[in-house]
């Protein structure tokens, strides 16, 4: 996969294929921000990236704020949607999660609290164009 990457997604299998390709680019220490409206497919995308790491039980972290998974890779999966104050993030130990070089970090709704992030490796944007049409854009960031 080359960056910036952009493609249209017409069905779930298109997203799964993109997730699979993207997974092979990821290394421990990467921080991946995911932006896009409710139901755009952020969790769906992370689920299928994790499947490549033999992690099968990925679910939305929107209530828990963070889900942790470990198999062939260690994953921290955040959702900032329900975070109302920056202090909530510090209370859950965001700094320690972000500084863990052994984990790959995914953050849904990262744009809400992007100011607290010191570095990001990739930004994934999923735009819902219609009922069955999405555009995914992935940018690789310089750290
Ligand atoms: N091409 C597609 N890619 C991803 N999801 C799709 C696609 N087509 C249909 N869907 C469906 O759209 C839904 C996307 O939901 P998902 O929970 O991943 O969204 P989200 O962006 O994480 O939303 P939220 O902001 O609430 O966390 C899933 O139910 C999925 O099955
Ligand atoms: Mg989600």
Per-residue pLDDT tens digits for 12-68: 999 999 999 999 999 999 999 999 999 999 999 999 999 999 999 999 998 889 999
Ligand having the closest approach to the CA of 35: 1
Alpha helices in the chain (DSSP H): 12-23, 42-51, 86-91, 94-98
> Which residue lies with its CA nearest to atom 25 of ligand 1?
38
- Mean predicted lDDT score pLDDT of the chain: 96
- Please list the helix, strand and coil fractions of the chain in percent, rounded to the nearest 5, in that order: 30, 30, 40
CA-nearest residue for atom 14, ligand 1, is: 41
Q: Give pLDDT, residue 143.
A: 63
pTM, full prediction: 0.97
Q: Residue 6 pairs with which residues in a beta bridge?
A: 137
Q: How far is the CA of 141 from the centre of ligand 2 (A)?
A: 22
- Pocket-forming residues, ligand 1, beta carbon under 6 Å: 9, 11-12, 14-15, 36, 38-44, 60, 62, 79, 108, 134
Torsion angle, alpha carbons of 28, 29, 35, 40, to 10: 10
Evaluate whether 100 touches 70 at the Cβ level (below 8 Å): no
| Lookup: tokens for 78 | 């955040």
Task: Assign domain 5-140 one CATH number from 3.40.190.10, 3.90.1580.10, 2.60.120.920, 3.40.50.300.
Answer: 3.40.50.300
């Amino acid at each position: 996969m080359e960056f910036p990457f952009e493609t249209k997604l017409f069905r779930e299998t298109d997203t799964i294929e993109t997730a699979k390709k993207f997974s092979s680019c990821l290394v421990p220490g990467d921080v991946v921000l995911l932006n896009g409206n409710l139901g755009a497919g952020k969790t769906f995308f992370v689920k299928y990236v994790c499947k490549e790491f033999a992690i099968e039980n990925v679910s939305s972290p929107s209530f828990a704020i963070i889900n942790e998974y470990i198999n062939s890779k260690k994953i921290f999966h955040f959702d900032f949607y329900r975070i109302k104050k920056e202090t909530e993030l510090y209370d859950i130990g965001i700094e320690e999660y972000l500084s863990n070089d052994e984990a790959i970090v995914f953050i849904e709704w990262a744009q809400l609290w992007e100011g607290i992030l010191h570095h990001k490796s990739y930004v994934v944007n999923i735009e819902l164009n219609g009922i069955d049409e999405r555009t995914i854009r992935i940018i690789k960031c310089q750290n």
